Amino acid sequence: MTSPVWHPFTQHGLNEDIPRVVRAEGAALYTDDGRRFVDAISSWWVTTHGHCHPRIMAAIREQTNHLDQLIFAGWTHAPAEALARDLFEITPAPLQHVFFSDSGSTSVEVALKMALGYWLNRGEPRHRIAVMEHSYHGDTIGAMSVGERGVYNRAYQPLLFDVDTIPFPAADGEAAIAALERLCAQDPPAALIVEPLILGAGGMLIYPPHVLKALRDICAREGVLFIADEVMTGWGRTGTLFACEQAGIAPDIMCLSKGLTGGAVPLAVTLATRDIFDAHRSEDRGKMFFHSSSYTANPIACAAANANLAIWREEPVRKRILDLTYRQTKRLNALDHSAIVNKRQLGTITAMEFVDPYGDYLSAMAPALGRFFRGRGLLLRPMGNTVYVMPPYCIDDADLDAIYDAILAAAREVAI
């Protein structure tokens, strides 16, 4: 029987095999036909400590005994209050208010609406957002608008608003820095939104911390709000808890999701400074922040996030990240084949390109590589001819070896 399910980012016309996963543990997925797959990309970058982590699963079960769901407009509950306080302790000091949502895309929508509402409520309406070339911030309308225009959003172009774009910081980043300075001198935007240090879906493109700091400094000097989209980069992926730490900066607004619950259930937050909160605080109800969803701050999701933060406090997670970073470096350096170019790494993330004359997202190499990796018992999802590895922090050496052995084999057997 043909499944009625319509899968995301899947061309069903290719009739590719879609494995049915029945359980997961640690860094492994198990299908209904008895196969084991190594989750080399943390199930789209969300799973940090490993699948079905006992402490997070226990917290979810316990919360289901007490409160499943509650309207969050004018009501509250203990899991959300505890989570907000704990996030306040680990995020940059200027971020003093936490707004809950339920995905990375919606956390970005919230950030954009906060920025525009801030300026409007101050009586200084600014309407434009500055973005970085090749960025990706999600698939809702606002998030698509501040992302790279192309095949991802070509069909939806009439819905998207105009933005100001600075170049990706190649080489020393001077072109990006100069472009932002020109923008601010001409007509300061409401905000600049960036993925700190590494662009995810844009191809795992890495830029240095000093460029991130320079962009932040310009925004601070020119009165432009700085939005850090740490949906992918947060929770240790870049080697520090948040990527902004490596540049020594504090954004005005920070977006978090994915690893917020350890990857167990959907939840997101947008953190903002007191100034942004106060711009929406008034006796005038027309100045309130007009955003919500039915499942804002779902108690079960908040309980999972609280368990995740307890793991970060009480277990040697940072040591595991340093260890995984070192083990990734060793294996990446050992990859030696003419079909593999532009090897790079940031923290626990490695990436490379396979030589391909049609090296874009729709490259035929991507499905061919995907099939090859599935045949080797791996969940690796190339972006065009870009292959990246972003495993859970619990992955062992045998599974890491299997990943890099398969990448080398793919260079020999699949690459053009």
Give pLDDT tens digits for 61-113.
999 999 999 999 999 999 999 999 999 999 999 999 999 999 999 999 999 99
Q: Residue 381 above 90 pLDDT?
A: yes
The 10 Å CB-count burial string (b at 16+, else e) for 175-212 is: ebbebbbebbeeebbbbbbbbbbbbbbbbbbebebebb
Q: What are phi and psi of 171, to 5 degrees?
A: 55, -120
When pLDDT is averaged across residues 227-236 and rounded to a whole number, the result is: 98
Contact (Cβ atoms closer than 8 angstroms) between residue 258 and residue 232: yes
pLDDT of residue 364: 82
Q: Cα-Cα-Cα-Cα dihedral of 211, 212, 213, 217, to 10°?
A: 100
The DSSP line for 192-206 is EEE-SSEETTTTSEE
Using pLDDT thresholds of 50, 70 and 90, give the confidence band for residue 416: low
Q: How do 164-166 and 129-132 pair as beta strands?
A: parallel
Structure tokens at 1: 């029987």
Using pLDDT thresholds of 50, 70 and 90, give the confidence band for residue 21: very high
**What single DSSP character describes residue 51?**
B
Give domain limits for the chain: 12-52+317-413, 57-314
Q: Residue 151 above 80 pLDDT?
A: yes
What value does the mean pLDDT of the chain take? 96
Residue 229: which of 272, 277, 193 has the closest Cα? 193
Using pLDDT thresholds of 50, 70 and 90, give the confidence band for residue 357: confident
Q: Residue 236 above 90 pLDDT?
A: yes
Give pLDDT tens digits for 154-199.
999 999 999 999 999 988 899 999 999 999 999 999 999 999 999 9
Q: Residue 358 above 80 pLDDT?
A: no
The CATH number that domain 57-314 falls under is 3.40.640.10
Give pLDDT tens digits for 290-330.
999 999 999 999 999 999 999 999 999 999 999 999 999 99
Paired residues of 199 in beta bridges? 205
Q: Residue 415 above 80 pLDDT?
A: no
pLDDT of residue 157: 94
Ramachandran sector of residue 215 (left: φ over 0; alpha: ψ -120 to 50; beta: rest):
alpha
Using pLDDT thresholds of 50, 70 and 90, give the confidence band for residue 33: very high
From the options 3.40.50.280, 3.20.20.110, 3.90.1150.10, 3.20.10.10, give the CATH code of 12-52+317-413. 3.90.1150.10
